[in-house]
Structure 1
Amino acid sequence: MIPASLFPLILFIFLVLLLSSMFRVLREYQRGVIFLLGRFYKVKGPGLIIVVPFVQQVVRVDLRTLTMDVPTQDVISRDNVSIKVNAVIYFRVVDPQKAIINVENYLEATSQLAQTTLRSVLGQHELDEMLAEREAINSHLQRILDSSTDTWGIKVSNVEIKHVDLDESMIRAIARQAEAERVRRAKVIHASGELEASKKLQEAAEVLSKQPQAIQLRYLQTLTEISGEHNSTIIFPLPMELMEAFTRRHKD
């Protein structure tokens, strides 16, 4: 039996504990979703809030931007290349009521949705597009996730693909493809140079044909260039008029 003299002390301690459990302090980045007898009542915070014990319950929600790693996913691209891709998403809760009531666990739900969306979207692109147009793919992923999580009170602000891992055989194939592309470009550049040189030679020939003296000067310049080299070539210069005489006699 409890002595009657202790009842006031016990009652005082009970009241102190009851009052202390009524007052909660929420930080600036926190909100409290209040339930009254199991039904949604309101969202409170930040600062000091009062929660009636046994009648009201509070669920704390963090409003700061959260970072979540998307585990490595096996993806088959549109051109049938098997790759491993992982990513990171940045999101935050903008509506605490929806985040608590509309979904059981918004963190787990967002993670699972990000994994499935990553596989689905990347499967629609070829490997070259994943490597060259990463910013566009990131924006596409962000828009899909943001619209899908809107009913959960979550705002997805950014999605970044971190790594795209390939098999060794595929890396060697890409290296051979890049080498072949460089060889093709070198041949095209060489052919373009030959075409341009042939056009310039044609123009030079037309100019020289108008002035026979220019041909003679060009011939002498060629002899000077040849004689400047250390070789055993013997050159017998012949007048161009002599060649023209032989040509004219042959025609007659």
Structure 2
Amino acid sequence: MDAMLVIALVIAAMVIILVIKGLMIVQQSEAVVIERLGSYHKTLEPGINWIIPFVDQPRSIKMRRYQVINNEQVAVVVEETRIDRRETVLDFPGQAVITGDNVSVMVNGALYFQVIDPERAVYQAENLVQAIEILAKTSLRSEVGKMELDKLFESRQEINDKLQIVMDDAGNKWGVKVTRVEIQDIDIPRDVEDAMRKQMTAERERRAMVLQASGEREAAIARAQGEKESAILVAEGDKTASILRAEGEREAINQIMAAADGRIDPELVIGYLMGLEYLNTLPNIAKEGDRVFLPFESSSVLGAVGSLQQLLQQTQGKAG
């Protein structure tokens, strides 16, 4: 009886040990790949899980991580049985890249990925992080090599989008979802940076000269337009003045003729007025300079005087 009790206690203890050994608690956002006798069996989800001890074993996954040792970023390969399914950032160090115009630049990037299928992540890649990093670097070299340096700074988002497409295609095979790729820094040689600075300065000066020339051209156009309008107004004023003066002279002749009531020859009146207009014009011509030489037409003056004399004689004769 005592022997049976001892055997029962031993069996109970073994069962308890097996139950305890078989219990596995998986944390939230984690997953564990279980192999049974060397073959894939299942993937443990978060919560309490039970496996058969010594028969079911968790399969480890190699992860390449960066650690800071002596103020230097060093890559370390570790084996983990628990697969982190959270989004992970991979900040790979800067690398030399040759652009399309043969300029060597240092590009530092960051990659965000998330394990979607733990089974594929374990069995499809020997070192998941290393595979992702190498693919990202080679894809980055390929895309940057197609662009010239000037376009490289303007096309960061374009490069990020193309890299994400490439990484997604490979990530589907590895059970990984690449959420985004970012180019952090682009370091260029000092001489190239100085040349670019001089080029930008020259470009700004060129734009300033173009703006100044454009402003001067618009000012000249506006000034010419103003002079044109002013000349038109002066011409219209002279025209109007001439018309009014002619109308005034005609009205004066009509009044004189009406007052004379046919007693005065109209040609005498017209000759008198023309001679008088000539005499009034001479002082205005002299104002244009210090000395003005004009041929003196005495006949115009004498004609005006003669017309006046005949006009007076006719007036007196008619009155007598």
Q: TM-score range by the shorter chain?
A: 0.7 to 0.9
User: 2:24 aligns to what SS in structure 1?
Assistant: strand
Residue equivalent to 2:299: none
Structure 2 stretches of 5 or more lacking a match?
60-81, 238-283, 295-320
Distance in 1 between residues matched to 2:187 and 2:199, nearest whole Å: 18
Tell me, yes or no, if the aligned pair for 1:71 and 1:115 is still in contact at 8 Å.
no
When normalised by structure 2's length, the TM-score is 0.62
User: 1:149 aligns to what SS in structure 2?
Assistant: helix
Tell me, yes or no, if the aligned pair for 1:67 and 1:90 is still in contact at 8 Å.
yes
Cα 1:240–1:86, aligned 2, differ >3 Å: closer, same or farther? farther
Residue equivalent to 1:24: 24
Amino acid at match of 1:47: G
Deviates more, 1:156-165 or 1:10-19: 10-19
User: 1:54 aligns to what SS in structure 2?
Assistant: coil
Tell me, yes or no, if the aligned pair for 1:77 and 1:126 is still in contact at 8 Å.
yes
User: 1:52 aligns to what SS in structure 2?
Assistant: coil
Q: Residues 44-193 of structure 1: matches in 2 within 5 Å?
A: 44-59=44-59, 60-193=82-215
Amino acid at match of 1:58: P
Query: How far 1:70 sits from its partner (Å)?
Result: 1.5
User: 2:177 aligns to what SS in structure 1?
Assistant: strand
Distance in 1 between residues matched to 2:108 and 2:233, nearest whole Å: 73
Cα 1:152–1:241, aligned 2, differ >3 Å: closer, same or farther? farther
Q: Deviations over 1:200-237 (max 9, x none)?
A: 1221111111233999xxxxxxxxxxxxxxxxxxxxxx
Residue equivalent to 2:227: 205
Tell me, yes or no, if the aligned pair for 1:51 and 1:58 is still in contact at 8 Å.
no
* RMSD of Structure 2 on Structure 1 (CA): 3.0
User: 2:133 aligns to what SS in structure 1?
Assistant: helix
User: 1:184 aligns to what SS in structure 2?
Assistant: helix
When normalised by structure 1's length, the TM-score is 0.78
Amino acid at match of 1:157: T
Residue equivalent to 1:43: 43
Distance in 2 between residues matched to 1:200 and 1:24, nearest whole Å: 88
Query: How far 1:36 sits from its partner (Å)?
Result: 1.8
Cα 1:240–1:208, aligned 2, differ >3 Å: closer, same or farther? farther
Amino acid at match of 1:199: I
Residue equivalent to 1:34: 34
Structure 1 stretches of 5 or more lacking a match?
216-238
Q: Give % identity.
A: 34
Cα 1:210–1:97, aligned 2, differ >3 Å: closer, same or farther? same
Residue equivalent to 2:240: none
Residue equivalent to 1:236: none
Distance in 2 between residues matched to 1:128 and 1:61, nearest whole Å: 42
Q: Deviations over 1:169-190 (max 9, x none)?
A: 1111111000110111011111
Tell me, yes or no, if the aligned pair for 1:73 and 1:119 is still in contact at 8 Å.
no
Tell me, yes or no, if the aligned pair for 1:94 and 1:155 is still in contact at 8 Å.
yes
Tell me, yes or no, if the aligned pair for 1:83 and 1:166 is still in contact at 8 Å.
yes
Amino acid at match of 2:39: R
Query: Whose RCO is larger (CA < 8 A, sep 6+)?
Result: 1
Amino acid at match of 2:53: P
Distance in 1 between residues matched to 2:171 and 2:198, nearest whole Å: 43
Query: How far 1:135 sits from its partner (Å)?
Result: 1.9
Cα 1:240–1:180, aligned 2, differ >3 Å: closer, same or farther? farther
Amino acid at match of 1:35: E
Distance in 2 between residues matched to 1:62 and 1:42, nearest whole Å: 17
User: 2:147 aligns to what SS in structure 1?
Assistant: coil
Query: How far 1:15 sits from its partner (Å)?
Result: 4.5
Distance in 2 between residues matched to 1:64 and 1:17, nearest whole Å: 33
Tell me, yes or no, if the aligned pair for 1:74 and 1:83 is still in contact at 8 Å.
yes
